[in-house]
Structure 1
Amino acid sequence: MKLFQTIAKPLALLALFAASAASPPAVAADKIPVLVSFSILGDLVQVVGKDRVAVTSLVGPNEDAHVFEPKAADAKNLLQTRLLVTNGLGFEHWTQKLVKSAGYKGPVAIASQGIQPRSMQAEKGKGAESDPHAWQDPTNVAIYVRNIAAALGKLDPQGKSQYEANTEAYVKELQTLDADAKTQIAAIPADKRKVITSHDAFGYLGTHYGIKFLAPQGMSTEAEPSARDVAKLIKQIQKEKIKAVFVENMSNSKLLAQLSKDAGVTPGPELYADALSKAGGPADTYLKMMRHNMAQLVAGMKQN
């Protein structure tokens, strides 16, 4: 503290900053620091970058990116990163504000770039907008990881071939996942492929696998369904005898629990929609998340 009370303090402080600039944190010297918007992207970046990257997620496991509010510590993390990876498609409405307030000038990789977004009804009657939950279709995730590999390769040319090899090996795992899921779904009659979830996050999965998803909430967990919409959904559940009812790990389950009670059905195990589980949980990687969700969905739809 005496340093700031002496005449020498400007020189000492300048020397301190110079030393800091010359000697960045160990993680930055050994690995590329990458900041991602939410946990699913964190897993994908780790898969592509492996031991060449150090990944930090702004929105962690079991947390809701729809209602996330950046803090001062997040701006600090952003300024220490060399690459920011976001989903895009309007998912992280807070990203631009964070980048601007932090003064971040580094590269930003949009993982969903090149994906044809599905259109869905916007909240509060504002017409249609793009559904941002593109990762729910594993064929889209193949595009995600290739975009991530390209961004890392541009930042780190020496690791380019490794990033590409890691990516193509992972794409094969995605293809196996996709084939297994299609086999499971094919065993369920088409008229039984109906599911109720907390919010409308599974549109891409439904389109890809031929499952009809219904939700009391809209695309964002910030939306509040009207009593009329809930009553309409209850009637549909009862009329179509839908037993496959689920909540998500980052959603408020009270609404769906009440809906299930009124409709006379019991919610199944939680699904993972916009966030992974914590480490050691049933969905702590993207591949585990998708397999977990598919197992629960298939079991639920068989009860319809």
Structure 2
Amino acid sequence: MSSRLLFLSAAIPAIMAFTAPVSAAELKAVASFTVLADIVHQVGGDKVQVSTLVGPDGDPHEFEPTPANAKALKAADVVFVSGEGLEGWMDRLISASGFKGKPVVASEGVNTRTMDEDGKTVTDPHVWNSPVNVKVWVANIEKALSAADPADAATFKANAEAYSKKLDELNAYAHSKLDKIPQEQRKVLTSHDAFGYFGREYKVSFLAPLGVSTETEASAADVAKLIEQIKVEKVKTYFFENSNDPRLVKQVAKATGAKPGGELYVESLSKPKGPASTYEKMFRFNVDQMAAAMEKAS
């Protein structure tokens, strides 16, 4: 990661707000990236002003904070991170911003999975790609918002219960689309290994040239091994991701004959007018894209 982390950055991107302008009396919440910010907004409703540090189509692995991010963090009443190693830049940003609180780790309590990364066992941080895990987020967010604003605890509780039902519906939707596809066809090539929780929940095999983080680089030997594996397992479809460089996955696809299945939203929501402007839209969009590709693979 570049050493130009904070105040040497010339560009100051706008911080995406999830609510309309609110009064100074309302709770100010900052989330590390768009997916988490949307869930905070769903639980907080109109009682909480939510902003995100990493904007739409942004990569939370390679994010470089700016002075605007530091300012927003310092003014926050409560800060949310996903945790599990996703936001490696957050401690430095907190130190530079002067924020005195302790971030709420939304993923605390999730049944995490581990994976191999350059010979080391690491925790997969991409927990939100299963709505079962996002229900844990919702419970943690409700608890944190209620502690910060007890007067509105009943509202947060009602919002959390309503949104948890939506997450159950999303989970059921994914199973309805994917369970009917033969197991040998549930194989997908993506840019990096970010769909492990989705794969675990819906029995889909994902192959990727990059590991848990887009900051890593795939060696020529790793790419060659992946190409051979894809040929052996007859993976027929590849997807690129909205938040990172598609060139490597396209290179692998070209060598294997895999056909493009489109774009997936993995670590970031789309811009407001895009197909994945909320978590609910993002998840349904990804399920539909993958199911359509797998069905064609027969």
Q: Structure 1-normalised TM-score?
A: 0.88
Q: Which amino acid aligns with 2:65?
A: P
Match of 1:115 among 83, 106, 110: 110
- Per-residue deviation at 1:234? 1.6
- Per-residue deviation at 1:264? 1.6
User: What SS is found at the alignment partner of 1:65?
Assistant: coil
Partner of 1:210: 203
Q: Distance in 2 between matches of 1:188 and 1:51?
A: 41
Q: Distance in 2 between matches of 1:99 and 1:291?
A: 34
Q: Does the 8 Å CA contact 2:236/2:257 hold for their aligned counterparts?
A: no
Q: Does 1:134 align with 2:127?
A: yes
Q: Report Cα offsets for 1:159-204 as digits up to 9, x if no partner.
A: 1010010011011111011111111111101111111100000000
Q: Structure 2-normalised TM-score?
A: 0.90
Task: Give the structure with the higher percent helix.
Answer: 1
Q: Which amino acid aligns with 2:43?
A: V
Q: Does 1:51 align with 2:37?
A: no
Q: Report Cα offsets for 1:38-72 as digits up to 9, x if no partner.
A: 00011001100111111110001100010011122
Q: Does 1:77 align with 2:83?
A: no
Q: Does the 8 Å CA contact 2:276/2:282 hold for their aligned counterparts?
A: yes
Partner of 2:15: none
Partner of 1:300: 293
| Structure 1 portions without partners, runs of 5+ | 1-25
Partner of 1:285: 278
- Per-residue deviation at 1:240? 2.3
Partner of 1:39: 34
Partner of 2:142: 149
Q: Does the 8 Å CA contact 2:84/2:124 hold for their aligned counterparts?
A: yes
Q: Does the 8 Å CA contact 1:30/1:52 hold for their aligned counterparts?
A: no
- Off by >6 Å, runs of 4+ in structure 1: none
Q: Distance in 1 between matches of 2:134 and 2:152?
A: 21
Q: Distance in 2 between matches of 1:81 and 1:27?
A: 14
Structure-to-structure mapping, 1:1-304, within 5 angstroms: 27=22, 29-122=24-117, 124-125=118-119, 127-304=120-297
Q: Does the 8 Å CA contact 1:193/1:210 hold for their aligned counterparts?
A: yes
Q: Distance in 2 between matches of 1:136 and 1:145?
A: 14
Q: Which amino acid aligns with 1:184?
A: K
| Identity over aligned pairs, percent | 46
> Mean alpha-carbon deviation: is it higher for 80-89 or for 100-109?
100-109
Q: Distance in 2 between matches of 1:255 and 1:214?
A: 13
Q: Distance in 2 between matches of 1:100 and 1:204?
A: 32
Q: Which amino acid aligns with 1:97?
A: R
Q: Distance in 2 between matches of 1:165 and 1:280?
A: 28
> Mean alpha-carbon deviation: is it higher for 175-184 or for 239-248?
239-248
Q: Which amino acid aligns with 1:102?
A: S
Q: Which amino acid aligns with 2:273?
A: G
Q: Distance in 2 between matches of 1:103 and 1:251?
A: 30
Please tell me the root mean square deviation across aligned C-alpha atoms, in Å.
Answer: 1.2
- Per-residue deviation at 1:239? 2.4
- Per-residue deviation at 1:28? 5.4
Count, aligned residues = 277
Q: Does the 8 Å CA contact 2:214/2:244 hold for their aligned counterparts?
A: yes
Q: Report Cα offsets for 1:91-129 as digits up to 9, x if no partner.
A: 00111111112221124211101112101112x32x101
